[in-house]
A and B are shown apart, each in its own frame.
Chain A
Amino acid sequence: MAESTRLGLMTYLLLAVRNLMRNQRRTTITLLTMIFGIAVLTLLSALNDGWLSQMKTNFILSYTGHAQIHAKGFEASQNLRDRITDPEEVTRLMQSYPEILGWTQRIRTSGLASVGGGSAGIQIMATDSEQETWVTSIHEHVTKGTWLRPGMSQDLLLGATVADTIGASLGDRVILMAQRPAGEMVSEVFYLRGILETGAPQIDRTLALIPLNTAQVWLKMGQSITDIVVRADRHENTDLVVRLFAQQLSDQTYEIMPWQELDPMVRQWLEFSDAYGLVIILVVVILVLVEILNTMLISLHERHKELGVIVAIGTTRFQIFSMLLLEAVLLIFIGASLGYLAGSLLVYSLSGSGIDLSGYANAFQFFYMNPVIYPDLTTDSAIRILGTTLVAALLAGVYPAWKATRLSLSQALRIQ
């Protein structure tokens, strides 16, 4: 009487597998639904992640870097009065952090470009021709002409759209106009040496790139600059780098901004994409949950009498609960694994050529995207997908299993 009832795991497994095989058609349909759902979820997640990482890379590497250090208030005012007068104080820190891959100094200010009859508002960016290449890939976006040449003080590169607007072509004299920190307007002659096409419309539409030394002299800024742009070795180290600088630099003098903060639009898109990922997961999880719940409840109904018998001959309610839960978990485990496998294969087969959305390219370029999306299956999303499915499985398995423990023996055994 004191002995308890015991069952080995193998017996549970055997029962679960055989019960699943009992109605093969139903099990197959349930599995196919799950495989389809999880595969689609995997592919959509991978597309989302690929899209995101592309956007991050494009955004960070084409222009902003991982983090920027400005004089306090510059990002809001965009005024040369808020400038870093002693960049040495910041740049001497760079050597000590291995997480920093490269850095450059820039002057950023708005101005006007004109050639012949045409003129347009521009964003002047003055940078060191060599150091810039350590931080961003903007030099790779020169589609016509050359990158800034060392020692050539009057070289100018324009965004493709700006050049178009004002009708400038390579070799043309272009007059740039800007305001010195003190307020006086000055102009200077440059020669168009290259055209930049980054794919990001706001860059292509406004950028005018000139050598840093020239700008410092022209705008009478001495050694001053407006931006120190830092590139970390990995996207994930952005926050670390920001923290390192924040520890060393006074927040009264400087503002240190990670790339997400430099463009509110990008931040919004990142948040949207997170929300979108969540919605997909939710939809799929609900689908899987309902499917499993349905399957388990039907099979429970069919086995009502048999479960009564199993309890009658000495199986405890806890054992019944475990049996049915195991069945649901097994079903989900198989479905989720196969679904994930199918999804990964799909991702893999698409990762070579990508999905070409160039038909909608105009809309997408706006978000620093390439027209071709390369799906990217990250460990994070794998864990998210499989984790949530498992939780869903438990939820969907617990209810029927619990229901089975509540069955009335007298009724179950009287069913003929």
Chain B
Amino acid sequence: MTSIIKTHDLHKCYWVGTMPHPALHGINLDIKQGEFAVLAGRSGSGKSTLLNIIGALESADSGSVEVFGQNILEMTQDQRTRFRLHNIGFVFQAYNLIRVFSARENIAYVCQLQGKSKEESLEIANHWLREVEIEHLGYRRPDQLSGGQQQRVAIARALASDPKIILADEPTANLDTQTGRNLIHLMQDLNQRLGTTFLISSHDPDVKEAASRLIKLADGQIVDEWSTIPKTPTSIYSDCPVQNMPFGERVQFMIKRLIRWRRIRKPSKKNRRRS
């Protein structure tokens, strides 16, 4: 099977002021066409960060991400926007529909962005509303729909742009167990019938059970399926060299250092996570 997503030695560190928050530490991932892959891991392990980077929503500090053979880290902002529009569908935990649009219009919107006419877009929207089994709710606004229904609209919206992959960040987290299960079945069904690749982050055991492949993250690294121990037990703070600090913070940092007001706080050895 062909690879759709390939990441190589991906590193990402967030900065809050001069405080580094390491998020990803050397991620090597290979997702094949048609997979129903699930990213699991504790809160804060870097699932959303990884999805956002793969989805060209955020950039990484180092490493490479190839989606359909294109290195998305090298794209400009507008190129990324276009890339997302034509290749990736997003499903978020909080549904994130456009409030002022009806369900149908929410779905049609991405088609219109792709340059389709309004009529054609609405046709496509109708089709996807049928696919997610809520065609009778097309005229309702998001605030007139239940969470499960909204998430179905979100899935329809993600599919309407005819993407090659759908990235879903904890799609069932806000839903009750049964609604969540129905949604998983829907996604599995779409995955099998249409061949759309899914990459889903989730804590939900039902989602993990449905996975054709389970990838576990811990402290920004991919760990063995049965273990939560990082493979490389080095400090992930090494991902946060001062050179990677954003410019503004760096200037601040330098000034502070110059006047010896405050030194950079490095974590002491005792605080490092070890097995």
Q: Report which A residues bind B (CB closer than 8 A).
A: 1, 3-8, 10-11, 15, 18-19, 21-22, 305-306, 309-319, 409-410, 413-414, 416
With contacts A316-B81, A319-B113 known, what are 10 further pairs, Cβ within 8 A? A3-B82, A5-B114, A7-B113, A8-B112, A11-B109, A15-B100, A313-B85, A313-B113, A318-B78, A410-B49
Asked whether, in the complex, the Cβ of B90 is within 8 Å of the Cβ of A313, the reply is: yes
Knowing A317-B77, A410-B57, say if A3 contacts B115 (CB, 8 Å): yes
Query: B132 interface residue, CB < 8 Å from A?
Result: no
Q: Whole-angstrom distance from the CB of B128 to the nearest CB of chain A?
A: 14
Q: Main SS of the interface on chain A?
A: helix
In the bound complex, CA of A313 to CA of B110 (Å): 7
Interfacial chain B residues near A416, Cβ < 8 Å: 94
Asked whether, in the complex, the Cβ of A314 is within 8 Å of the Cβ of B85, the reply is: yes
6 closest residue pairs by CB, A with B: A314-B85, A18-B100, A309-B96, A6-B115, A5-B113, A410-B58
Asked whether, in the complex, the Cβ of B100 is within 8 Å of the Cβ of A19, the reply is: yes
In the bound complex, CA of A414 to CA of B86 (Å): 23
Interfacial chain A residues near B87, Cβ < 8 Å: 1
Asked whether, in the complex, the Cβ of B52 is within 8 Å of the Cβ of A313, the reply is: no
Interfacial chain A residues near B114, Cβ < 8 Å: 3, 5-6, 314
Knowing A5-B114, A410-B58, say if A306 contacts B96 (CB, 8 Å): yes
Partner of A410, one of B52, B109, B161: B52
Q: Whole-angstrom distance from the CB of B8 to the nearest CB of chain A?
A: 21
Partner of B81, one of A11, A19, A309, A315: A315
Can you give 9 contacting A-B residue pairs, CB < 8 Å? A1-B70, A1-B87, A3-B86, A306-B98, A309-B98, A313-B85, A314-B84, A409-B57, A410-B49
Partner of B112, one of A3, A11, A306: A11
Query: B92 interface residue, CB < 8 Å from A?
Result: yes
Interfacial chain B residues near A409, Cβ < 8 Å: 52, 57-58
Asked whether, in the complex, the Cβ of B84 is within 8 Å of the Cβ of A11, the reply is: no
Asked whether, in the complex, the Cβ of A314 is within 8 Å of the Cβ of B81, the reply is: yes
Asked whether, in the complex, the Cβ of A317 is within 8 Å of the Cβ of B81, the reply is: yes
Query: B231 interface residue, CB < 8 Å from A?
Result: no
Partner of B82, one of A5, A21, A306: A5
In the bound complex, CA of A11 to CA of B157 (Å): 17
Query: B237 interface residue, CB < 8 Å from A?
Result: no
Partner of A312, one of B49, B57, B99, B115: B57
Partner of A8, one of B94, B118, B161: B118
In the bound complex, CA of A387 to CA of B87 (Å): 44
Q: Main SS of the interface on chain B?
A: helix
Q: Whole-angstrom distance from the CB of B167 to the nearest CB of chain A?
A: 10
Name which of B78, B98, B161 has the most chain A CB atoms within 10 A of its CB.
Answer: B98
Q: How many interface contacts (CB-CB < 8 Å) are there between A and B?
A: 90
Name B64-87 residues within 8 Å CB distance of A.
70, 77-78, 81-87
Contact with A along B109-135 (1 / 0, CB 8 A): 110111100100000000000000000
Asked whether, in the complex, the Cβ of B86 is within 8 Å of the Cβ of A413, the reply is: no
Query: B48 interface residue, CB < 8 Å from A?
Result: yes
Q: Whole-angstrom distance from the CB of B2 to the nearest CB of chain A?
A: 18
CB-nearest residue of chain A to B70? A1
Interfacial chain B residues near A8, Cβ < 8 Å: 112, 118
Asked whether, in the complex, the Cβ of B86 is within 8 Å of the Cβ of A1, the reply is: yes
In the bound complex, CA of A3 to CA of B115 (Å): 8
Asked whether, in the complex, the Cβ of A314 is within 8 Å of the Cβ of B113, the reply is: yes
Name which of A4, A5, A11 has the most chain B CB atoms within 10 A of its CB.
Answer: A5
In the bound complex, CA of A310 to CA of B157 (Å): 12
Q: Whole-angstrom distance from the CB of B21 to the nearest CB of chain A?
A: 12
Interfacial chain B residues near A11, Cβ < 8 Å: 109, 112, 118
Interfacial chain A residues near B90, Cβ < 8 Å: 312-313
Asked whether, in the complex, the Cβ of B96 is within 8 Å of the Cβ of A305, the reply is: yes
Q: Whole-angstrom distance from the CB of B24 to the nearest CB of chain A?
A: 12
Asked whether, in the complex, the Cβ of A315 is within 8 Å of the Cβ of B113, the reply is: yes
In the bound complex, CA of A147 to CA of B150 (Å): 89
In the bound complex, CA of A414 to CA of B93 (Å): 10
CB-nearest residue of chain B to A408? B58
Name which of A4, A22, A410, A416 has the most chain B CB atoms within 10 A of its CB.
Answer: A410
Name B34-57 residues within 8 Å CB distance of A.
48-49, 52, 55, 57
Asked whether, in the complex, the Cβ of A312 is within 8 Å of the Cβ of B86, the reply is: no
Interfacial chain A residues near B157, Cβ < 8 Å: 313
Interfacial chain B residues near A10, Cβ < 8 Å: 118
Asked whether, in the complex, the Cβ of B57 is within 8 Å of the Cβ of A22, the reply is: no
Q: Whole-angstrom distance from the CB of A345 to the nearest CB of chain B?
A: 33
Interfacial chain B residues near A317, Cβ < 8 Å: 77-78, 81
Interfacial chain B residues near A316, Cβ < 8 Å: 78, 81-82
Asked whether, in the complex, the Cβ of A4 is within 8 Å of the Cβ of B82, the reply is: yes
In the bound complex, CA of A237 to CA of B178 (Å): 84
Asked whether, in the complex, the Cβ of A6 is within 8 Å of the Cβ of B57, the reply is: no
In the bound complex, CA of A3 to CA of B161 (Å): 13
Asked whether, in the complex, the Cβ of B52 is within 8 Å of the Cβ of A413, the reply is: yes
In the bound complex, CA of A7 to CA of B114 (Å): 8
In the bound complex, CA of A306 to CA of B106 (Å): 12
In the bound complex, CA of A211 to CA of B250 (Å): 91
Interfacial chain A residues near B77, Cβ < 8 Å: 317
Knowing A314-B113, A314-B161, A315-B113, say if A5 contacts B98 (CB, 8 Å): no
In the bound complex, CA of A310 to CA of B77 (Å): 14
